[in-house]
């Protein structure tokens, strides 16, 4: 068969494919998009996550001067209504946190739930969304970043240690438990335009808990990383077992328990604008 007779159908199919894809309903057409803010590249003083020991005693975490590449993050924490769409789609398990307005943060979410939501939201938007690192969370928090608070570990043989320490920490800081999530914007916006950071919802990060032994001169020695426990940032830094949804019921590996656990995502900048459009329609065909 002549090459010219083969070329015509191939060209016709190539021209028809974009039209066929465009005819597929966009699954994100009616999905309200999360507002984001760009955090410019910068350098911050960053207390390293984890527990640090010298001569067998817990000491303050070292602080390093860290450069943070620019990134884009949600202005608001993921709301109950937004998370509910993922539940309705069958991609997320229902949240187990206390109720509240539809625009209040979704709470009662563990690290695995947060990952499921970011994967679903990425599929329906055709974009790449993920949890921030602890460094990114610190940069986005700006003047509201608190870093580590109480870093004395729990005693598994004596649960009273955790509650007594929580009481002392609350008494010393004036913070009392406040479990009911507030409407969006209740805690205001920081200097970078990020809303409600440092309120009563702590936010999951991808950073793992580490137990680090320091040498006599403060140099890093043995590092034991535990990615079954993740860093959560908020009024103070804490460390939560990744399957825990209710921090008040236990699972706070180190430090004073948070009031609630929620999600705020980072959006990766797409290289090609058309890629998101194509991914959404392919996801519609697959789903």
Q: Which domains does the chain have, with CATH numbers?
A: 34-286 (3.90.1580)
225 by DSSP, 3-state: which? Answer: strand
Mean pLDDT across the stretch 61-77?
Answer: 96
- What pLDDT is stored for residue 126 in this prediction? 93
* Longest pairwise C-alpha distance within the chain: 86
Of 263, 264, 241, which Cα lies nearest the Cα of 253?
241
At 78, list the tokens. Answer: 């993921």
Tell me which of 215 and 210 has the higher pLDDT. Answer: 210
Calculate the CA dihedral of residues 174, 138, 78, 245 and round it to 10 degrees: -60
**What are the pLDDT digits (tens) for 161-170?**
545 555 555 5
Mean pLDDT across the stretch 215-226?
Answer: 85
Mean pLDDT across the stretch 235-253?
Answer: 85
Tell the residue number behind the tokens 């527990």, with chain if given: 51
**What are the pLDDT digits (tens) for 146-188?**
987 544 444 545 555 545 555 555 544 556 778 899 999 999 9
d(CA 209, CA 212): 10
Tell the residue number behind the tokens 């137990």, with chain if given: 211
Q: Percentage of the chain with pLDDT > 90?
A: 58
The chain-wide mean pLDDT, for the chain, equals 82
Name the pTM for this structure.
0.78
């Amino acid at each position: 068969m002549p090459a010219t007779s083969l070329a015509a159908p191939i060209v016709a199919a190539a021209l028809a494919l974009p039209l066929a894809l465009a005819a597929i309903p966009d699954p994100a057409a009616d999905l309200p998009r999360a507002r984001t803010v760009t955090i410019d590249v910068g350098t911050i003083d960053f207390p390293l996550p984890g527990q640090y020991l010298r001569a067998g005693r817990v000491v303050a975490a070292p602080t390093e001067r860290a450069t943070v590449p620019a990134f884009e993050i949600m202005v608001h924490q993921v709301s109950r209504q937004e998370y509910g769409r993922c539940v309705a789609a069958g991609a997320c398990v229902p949240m187990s946190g206390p109720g509240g307005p539809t625009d209040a943060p979704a709470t009662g979410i563990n690290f695995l739930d947060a990952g499921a939501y970011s994967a679903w939201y990425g599929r329906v938007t055709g974009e790449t969304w993920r949890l921030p690192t602890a460094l990114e969370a610190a940069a986005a928090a700006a003047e509201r970043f608190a870093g580590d608070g109480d870093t004395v570990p729990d005693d598994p043989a004596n649960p009273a240690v955790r509650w007594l320490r929580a009481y002392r920490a609350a008494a010393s800081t004036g913070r009392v438990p406040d479990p009911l999530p507030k409407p969006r914007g209740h805690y205001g916006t920081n200097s970078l335009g990020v809303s409600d950071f440092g309120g009563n919802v702590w936010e999951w990060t991808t950073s793992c808990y580490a137990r680090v032994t320091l040498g006599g001169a403060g140099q890093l020695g043995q590092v034991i990383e535990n990615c079954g426990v993740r860093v959560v940032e908020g009024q103070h830094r804490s460390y939560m077992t990744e399957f825990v949804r209710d921090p008040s019921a236990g699972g706070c590996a180190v430090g004073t328990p948070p009031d609630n656990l929620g999600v705020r995502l980072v959006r990766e900048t797409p290289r090609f604008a058309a890629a998101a459009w194509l991914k959404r329609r392919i996801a519609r065909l697959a789903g």
